[in-house]
Amino acid sequence: MGTVIKGLQEIKIGEAQESGADLEVSTLIKIGMVYKETCEFLQDDPSVTEFYEEGESFPFESTEEFGPVGLKAEIVVDKPDVLSLIGGIVEDGNWSIAEGKSVKKYVRFVTAQGKDFVAPNCKMYGKIVGKLTSKDILRVLVTFTPNSVENGKPFRTIDKEVAGGGEG
């Protein structure tokens, strides 16, 4: 039996790799603090087309078209410069994410256990969520949409990097 993948520790990004190449973890930048229990996979059920013969109750053939996998996670903005990495604007310590700009990055979802996930050529955009109350903190909801790559899969698991370099 393989290792169960469990828990998200952090999300790291680097320059988008349309080739599909993987980047060393040491070259990636952590994007804020991931707000607890907010990272989720997004994938619609497949679109199914069934072909029937006249008078029959069951199809003689069916095809399925699967949608892409995406993810969403809420980020606590602990350093304003992080916002410029996910499509926001930072000027003189003040920031804005309201312009709705998307960016493409290499994204690594570092898990607590098992393999990590990577999207070498991933489109990202953020929007502000939360309430301005004494019991809530401001967060940015980031949507991650893996885009196609020249080699390999656009969203896949990868071995964790072990201390001292290399994959483990």
How far does CA 102 lie from the centroid of its chain?
A: 13
Contacts of 45 (CB under 8 A, 6+ apart): none
How far does CA 35 lie from the centroid of its chain?
A: 14
Instruction: Kindly report, residue by residue over 110-152, the tens digit of the pLDDT.
Output: 998 889 999 999 999 888 888 888 888 888 899 999 999 999 9
Which residue blocks in the chain are alpha helix, DSSP H?
A: 81-85
pLDDT of residue 35 exceeding 60, the answer is yes
Nearest to 34 by CA among 89, 80, 75: 75
pLDDT, mean of residues 56-80: 89
Nearest to 70 by CA among 39, 25, 26: 39
pLDDT at residue number 164:
41
pLDDT, mean of residues 35-48: 88
Band the pLDDT of 98: cuts 50, 70, 90: low
How far does CA 160 lie from the centroid of its chain?
A: 17
Q: Are 73 and 82 in contact (CB under 8 A)?
A: no
Which top CATH class is 6-158? mainly beta
Where does the chain show beta strands of DSSP type E? Answer: 6-15, 29-30, 33-34, 40-42, 47-51, 61-65, 70-76, 89-91, 94-96, 103-113, 116-129, 139-146, 156-158
pTM for this one? 0.82
pLDDT at residue number 137:
82
Distance CA 139, CA 35 (A): 8
Q: Is 57 left (phi over 0), alpha (psi -120 to 50) or beta?
A: alpha
Distance CA 69, CA 16 (A): 18
pLDDT at residue number 165:
44
| Annotated domain spans of the chain | 6-158
pLDDT at residue number 139:
87
